[in-house]
Structures are given as structure tokens and as C-alpha cells.
Copies of this chain bind each other. A is one copy, B any other.
Amino acid sequence: MVNVGKPAGGRSGRPRAGEERLSRQTILDAALRIVDDEGLEAMTMRRLAATLGVNPMSIYHHLPNKAAVFAGLAELVFADLNNTSRAEATTSRKAGREVPVRRSAGRSPGASTPTRSGGDRWQDELMNAAHAYRNALRAHPNLALQVLADAAAVSEVVVLTVEPFYRALDRAGLTPRQIFEAVNTLIDFIHGFSLGEASVRADTFELAPDLLERVSKLQPGQAPTLTRIVEELGADGLHYEFDDGFETGLSLFVAGIGARFGR
């Protein structure tokens, strides 16, 4: 199965230049590919070396250990997010490697919100930030758990990530303290949501989508309210869509800001 060949076939999308050298970037690209295709635990140092057509120890010359590889992958995810959300900003282009701009499904693809009057601009801005964040985590389901557990390790790039949230809520007129608290809460929600979503996509089940089946297996009287509510909902009502769930959560949150902070 595993092709431990000579100097690695040109598997990745990148065109191999005449010079084929090992670098932090090529290593991380290969690692990401393994994680995406075969899951977290398939990503071993030896396997990584094999797909690069290189001795396992060569990797240690560019990254100090396996943890650093995973930290590097987490960083990639956030970097992707930052580059995606301000595709137009006047940034001095980083050397090499353009990050492909992924577009969220539901929204208009062109310029940001076409001239609309109304006063609900900050809500849209906040929604956009939230969707971009979710999409970045969703792009690599197998990596999500690692990213969320390791967000710490990625300092700068993670901090940049919250700027759009701050901007939206600043525009909404909240106080600094309110902004700080609201952003923390919203990001916690997105993390929890994405964790559930990633679990389902990876392989297993999750609470929301499976509730009906599980409740039916309960002994009578173990969870009376839950049982009754689920029955009232019926099979149709329980059909779960992650997209809807995310939207609902966001709108609940926006409504909360309005009510608590008088917006």
C-alpha cells in the first residue's frame, strides 16, 4: 500500500521545480495531506518521511519533533483563515505559497455586502467572521481537534484571527469590556460547534443528529422531559442540519448581545 519509493513522486499539487529539497513547508504540506487523507494517527514521523522519500531523521533537521509538526499544521489552518477573510487587504505578499481562497457556500461571492442601507451592518459582519472561522476549521476535519486543543501554541496567528470579531462589535457600539466578553463567548461556541461537526465528519456520531434513536432506547422515566419533547418533535422535526444549527446558534447569540448590551 504505502509507496516507499525513490525520491517521492510528484504527488502534491505543487509543481516540482528542478531542485527538490526538503523544507519546513514541504514537510508540513505532506503532513497535512496525510492527516486529511488518512487521519491524525496515520501521521507518524516514519510515514511522513516515507511519503517524502527521505530518511525519518531528515525531518528533525527542519522541525524539532512531532509536536512541532502538529503545531505547524494548526498554524496553517489559522493562517488560511486570516488570508481568506481579508483577501483584498493591502498586505505585502508573503514569499511563495499562495493560500487558496475558500469561499463560504451560502453568501454572495463578490465584494462584501453590496450597498445596503439599514442599521444591521454589524450583525452581518459578525456573521461573516463566524462563518469564516467555522469554515477554516471545517476545511480539515481530522485536524480540528488538534487545532482546538493546541490553539495556544500558535500565538500570533491566532490573535489576528479575532480582529474581524472585534471590528464588528466595535461598530455595534459595545464597550471594550463587553466586546472582550462577547468575543470570548462566541468563539467558545464556534469551537464547541466545530468539535461536534468534526467528530461527525471524521467517523462517529454526535448528540444532536442522533438524538431520536438514542432517546428511544432509554428506560421509561429516565429522562421524562427529554422523551416527551423528542416525541412531540417527531422524526421529521429532529432532522438535523449543521448549517442550520450554526445559524441558530449565531442568531441566539446576536439576540443576546442586543438584549444585554442594548443594541
- Give the B-binding residues of A (Cβ under 8 A): 145, 148-153, 155-156, 158-160, 162-163, 166-167, 170, 176-177, 179-182, 184-185, 187-193, 195-196, 199-200, 204-208, 210-211, 214-215, 217-218, 222-226, 228-230, 232-233, 237-238, 245, 248-249, 251-260
Distance in Å: Cβ of A213 to nearest Cβ of chain B: 9
The 7 closest A-B pairs by CB, nearest first: A256-B256, A192-B192, A191-B192, A188-B192, A152-B204, A255-B259, A163-B223
Docked pose: A215 CA to B156 CA in angstroms: 8
State the number of copies, please. Answer: 2
Alpha-carbon distance A205/B156, docked complex (angstroms): 13
B170 touches A206 (CB 8 A): no
Of B181, B182, B229, B257, which is within 8 A of A176 by CB? B229
The one of B191, B226, B253 that contacts A252, using a Cβ cutoff of 8 Å: B253
What are the residues of chain B within 8 A of A188 when measuring CB–CB? 189, 192-193, 195-196, 249
Q: Within 8 Å CB of A204, what residues of B? A: 150, 152-153
- SS of A interface (majority): helix
Pairwise interchain contact B256-A151, C-beta atoms closer than 8 A: no
Using A151-B207, A192-B192, A256-B256 as known contacts, list a sample of 12 further A-B pairs with CB atoms less than 8 Å apart, ordered by residue number in A. A149-B199, A152-B199, A152-B205, A159-B218, A160-B223, A170-B228, A176-B229, A181-B249, A187-B192, A253-B253, A255-B260, A259-B259
